[in-house]
C-alpha cells in the first residue's frame, strides 16, 4: 500500500511538472472556450443562470436575517426554518426540475421545453416571494418562502444538461466547468453582494425592514 501510494504520488508529480501536460490542458480550455463563445445558446443560458443563481443565493443568504429582524425569531429558530426550506424544499425542486425537464423533452423532442418550464416556475415564484416578505404572519412567510425556493431550484439540472448537448464529447467536462464558474462565481458572488449593499443603503430610511 505504501509503495502504491508513493508511486501514485510520484506519477502525479511527474505529470504536473511536465510542460506538455500544461500545454495540452490550456489548449483544451482554449478550444472549449472558443467553441462555446460561438454558441448563442450558451451565452444566453449563462446570463440567465447567473441571474437565477444570484437571486436564489440572495434569498437563502438573507432570508434568515429577514426572519430575525422582521418576525423577531431567534437565530436558532430561523436557522432551523432555513434548513427545512433550503434542504427539504430545495431538494424537491432540484429533483422535480430534472424529472419534469426530461419528461417534457421526451414528449416534445425539443430541449427548449426545459427552459420554458423553468421560466414558468420563475413567473410563479416572483410574486410569491413578494407576498412572503409582506405578510405579517411568520408561518405564512416561511411556507411561501419554501415554495419559492422549490420553484427556483428547478433550474439546477436542466441548464447543465443543455450545455452538455452543445459541445462534442471530449469537451463536456470542460464546458460544465465553464458553466459552473460563470453561474456560481459571478452570479453567486454578485447577487448577495448587491442585495446586502442595497439593504445597507436603505437602512437609514426603513430600519430593520430594509432587508
pLDDT of residue 2: 47
- The string of pLDDT tens digits covering residues 2-40 is 445 556 666 666 666 777 777 887 888 888 888 888 888
- State yes or no: pLDDT of 55 exceeds 70: yes
* pTM of the shown model: 0.77
Confidence of residue 46 (pLDDT cuts 50, 70, 90): confident
Considering only residues 100 and 58, tell me which one the structure prediction assigns the higher pLDDT. Answer: 100
CA torsion sign for 111, 115, 121, 123 is negative
Q: What is the DSSP string of 105-140?
A: HHHHS-THHHHHHHHHHHHHHHHHHHHHHH-S-HHH
Provide the greatest CA pair distance for the chain: 67
| CA-based R_g, the chain, Å | 21
Amino acid at each position: 500500500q505504501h509503495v502504491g501510494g508513493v508511486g501514485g504520488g510520484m506519477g502525479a508529480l511527474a505529470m504536473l511538472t511536465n510542460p506538455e501536460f500544461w500545454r495540452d490542458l490550456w489548449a483544451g480550455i482554449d478550444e472549449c472556450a472558443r467553441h462555446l463563445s460561438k454558441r448563442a445558446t450558451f451565452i444566453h443560458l449563462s446570463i440567465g443562470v447567473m441571474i437565477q443563481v444570484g437571486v436564489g443565493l440572495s434569498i437563502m443568504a438573507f432570508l434568515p436575517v429577514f426572519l430575525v429582524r422582521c418576525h423577531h425569531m431567534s437565530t436558532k429558530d430561523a436557522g432551523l426554518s432555513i434548513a427545512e426550506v433550503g434542504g427539504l424544499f430545495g431538494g424537491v425542486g432540484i429533483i422535480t426540475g430534472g424529472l419534469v425537464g426530461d419528461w417534457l423533452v421526451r414528449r416534445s423532442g425539443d430541449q427548449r421545453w426545459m427552459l420554458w418550464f423553468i421560466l414558468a416556475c420563475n413567473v410563479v415564484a416572483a410574486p410569491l416571494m413578494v407576498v412572503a416578505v409582506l405578510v405579517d404572519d411568520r408561518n405564512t412567510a416561511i411556507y411561501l418562502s419554501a415554495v419559492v425556493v422549490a420553484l427556483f431550484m428547478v433550474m439546477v439540472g436542466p441548464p447543465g444538461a443543455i450545455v452538455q448537448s452543445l459541445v462534442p464529447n471530449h469537451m463536456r467536462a470542460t464546458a460544465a466547468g465553464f458553466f459552473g464558474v460563470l453561474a456560481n462565481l459571478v452570479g453567486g458572488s454578485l447577487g448577495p453582494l448587491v442585495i446586502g449593499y442595497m439593504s445597507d443603503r436603505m437602512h437609514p430610511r426603513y430600519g430593520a425592514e430594509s432587508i
